[in-house]
Amino acid sequence: MRKLIATVMVLSAGLWIASCTEPATGADIKEMCEHLNKVSAEIDATPAEERVAKVEADSAEQRKAIETKRDDELAAIDKERDGKLGAVKKDEEKAAIGTEYDGKKAEKTAEFQGMIDKLNADKAAMIKQAQEKAKADADAAKQAVDKCVAEAEGIGVSKEIAQCRIAVATADEYWNKCK
């Protein structure tokens, strides 16, 4: 009987202490839930502007590589032309060689312009995709926070637990360290 009375007293004291804990505010709970999204890394919260900037930077890098290759190939055509022109004495032959190599350069320039045009079209599509993905991820993050807030308010999270969860660095700590 003594054990029963002691158990009831301990449970009563625990319930009394638990009822004295300060409940978390709505702002604390929202911050806690936003932090959960951040540390769990399930939703990419990268803003659209950053995603678009990355697409533009990647595209600029690819364009520069295409232009460098084009310039190298045009220089090789010029070098080949100059080699042939040096061996020819007649003006008619020089003009014919000049015309031939001008045609080769025009073909090469058109070939690389096609690559640049395709890159620009791909860039526009990737920018649109990045913007759509950012919006979808932002919507998913908002829904996850709203769901988390509703659940946390439903169980009555204490201010102490909310502050602990806001301070953690990983999702594992979020769930296991702060109880």
Residues 113-152 pLDDT 10s? 999 999 999 999 999 999 999 999 989 889 988 998 998 8
The whole-angstrom separation of Cα 85 and Cα 50 is 52
Q: What global pTM score does this model have?
A: 0.64
Helix count (H) and strand count (E) of the chain?
Answer: 6, 0
Write down the mean pLDDT value for the chain. Answer: 85
If you ran DSSP here, which 8-state letter would residue 22 be given? Answer: P
The whole-angstrom separation of Cα 143 and Cα 150 is 11
Q: C-alpha distances in angstroms, 109 versus 54, 58, 97, 118?
A: 28, 22, 18, 14
The whole-angstrom separation of Cα 19 and Cα 132 is 46
The whole-angstrom separation of Cα 121 and Cα 125 is 6
The whole-angstrom separation of Cα 12 and Cα 6 is 10
Decide: 39 and 174 in contact? Cβ < 8 Å.
yes
Residues 40-88 pLDDT 10s? 877 777 888 999 999 999 999 999 999 999 999 999 999 999 988 888 8
Decide: 174 and 168 in contact? Cβ < 8 Å.
yes
- Which residues neighbour 119 within 8 Å (Cβ) at sequence distance 6 or greater? 59, 62, 63, 66
Domain ranges of the chain: 23-176
Name the nearest CA neighbour of 164 among 172, 156, 174, 155.
174
